[in-house]
Homo-oligomer: A and B are copies of this chain.
Amino acid sequence: MKDVHAMTPTAGSLDLHRVGVTGVKKPLAIQRPDRVVTIGASFSVDVDLPASRKGSDLSRNAELLAELIDSTATAPVESLEAACHEIARELLMRHQYATQAQVEATGTYFRSRGISETRRSFEDYLLIASARASRDSNGGEPTVLRTIGAEAVGMTACPCAMETAREILEGEFPLLKDHSFDKFPIISHNQRNRTRLLFEVPPGVEVEVDRILDAIEAAQSSPTYAILKRRDEAQVVLNAHRNPKFVEDVMRDLLSGVVTRFADLPPETIVVAETVSEESIHKYDVTASHRITLGELRHPAAG
């Protein structure tokens, strides 16, 4: 058969940066400390393509995903990012003309959570991972860079509306000015908040996803929970209103938390963070995002 992909392209000689497949859905079995979990994951993989070739052999991508991911049903992998790493490395093996390979994946991760031991249930989080492999020009092992991240939904309470409401309420309810009410939680507006945190780590560095999720949930006004009986619900509300946060506060607390919680990560690690509050008083969302090395985060330049 004629190999159309290997033919010289008719459109002139141009290297292409990224050619691949996207939205390939697969069940991925991951070995957790206590048990095997299967997550529904979606993969995008691509490689570069030299000017001399008309097409990339995309069926190899599908074969490779089938071989590496389907086999986890019997031999679970360590993590989503480990799977990405392995796929990226293997892409370079099978596309000999390529110099770079990229893999991006997301998956739904269920972990057991509860406001107390008797209220535990599985709650859904988003896992995010990627890997980029670069061919070694001397024929050695490719360099593979990984990104490891996650997204958690929690809640925020607005610190500004709370202050203004206090001023208005002090007018209507003069007793509120009594010093005993100094720490009394005042009404505000709350939002569903989605926050993601990713680490682009140097080769060989691992980050446990539960540590990432814990860092995110600690930065929101409060985590949220599937099961809340009446008193639990009030407790979450109280916690959130005693911990009011703009998205700006969520972002700063998240980044501060990264400094204290991830002291083991090397300074060249890149931290990428994004937080979105789905406003209850507006039809639109508010958001903050940041990208910085861990080194810069630990030692901000004097301004």
Residues of A whose CB lies within 8 Å of any CB of B are 1-2, 4-5, 9-27, 35, 37-40, 44, 46, 49, 51, 54-56, 58-59, 62-63, 65-66, 69-70, 73, 108, 110, 112, 120-124, 153, 155, 158-161, 163-165, 167-169, 173, 175-176, 178, 180-181, 184-192, 222, 224-231, 233-238, 240-241, 246-249, 251-253, 255-256, 276, 278-292, 297, 300, 303
Contact = CB atoms under 8 A, between A and B. Distances in A.
A237 to B, nearest CB: 5
B19 A27 contact: no
Given A1-B231, A37-B27, A14 B281 contact: no
Given A15-B303, A19-B248, A281 B184 contact: no
Nearest to A227: B62
A28 B189 CA distance: 30
A227 B22 contact: no
Contacts of A44: 287
Nearest to A7: B159
- Counting chain B CB atoms within 10 Å of each CB, the highest count among A66, A226, A256, A276 belongs to A226
Given A62-B284, A185-B187, 18 more contacts: A4-B160, A9-B248, A14-B252, A14-B256, A16-B290, A17-B292, A55-B159, A58-B286, A59-B230, A164-B230, A168-B234, A168-B238, A187-B187, A187-B237, A187-B238, A189-B236, A224-B279, A226-B283
Q: Which 6 A-B pairs have the closest CB atoms?
A: A66-B121, A164-B234, A11-B252, A25-B124, A38-B38, A4-B160
Contacts of A164: 1-2, 230-231, 233-234
Contact of A27 (B110, B161, B190, B246): B110
Given A18-B289, A289-B18, A236 B281 contact: yes
Given A2-B167, A227-B59, A256-B11, A122 B70 contact: yes
B55 A248 contact: yes
Contacts of A70: 112, 121-122
25 contacts: A9-B252, A11-B249, A11-B253, A13-B300, A19-B287, A21-B285, A21-B287, A25-B124, A25-B283, A37-B38, A54-B248, A66-B122, A66-B226, A70-B112, A155-B189, A160-B233, A168-B235, A173-B181, A175-B178, A186-B187, A187-B187, A190-B280, A192-B278, A224-B283, A233-B281
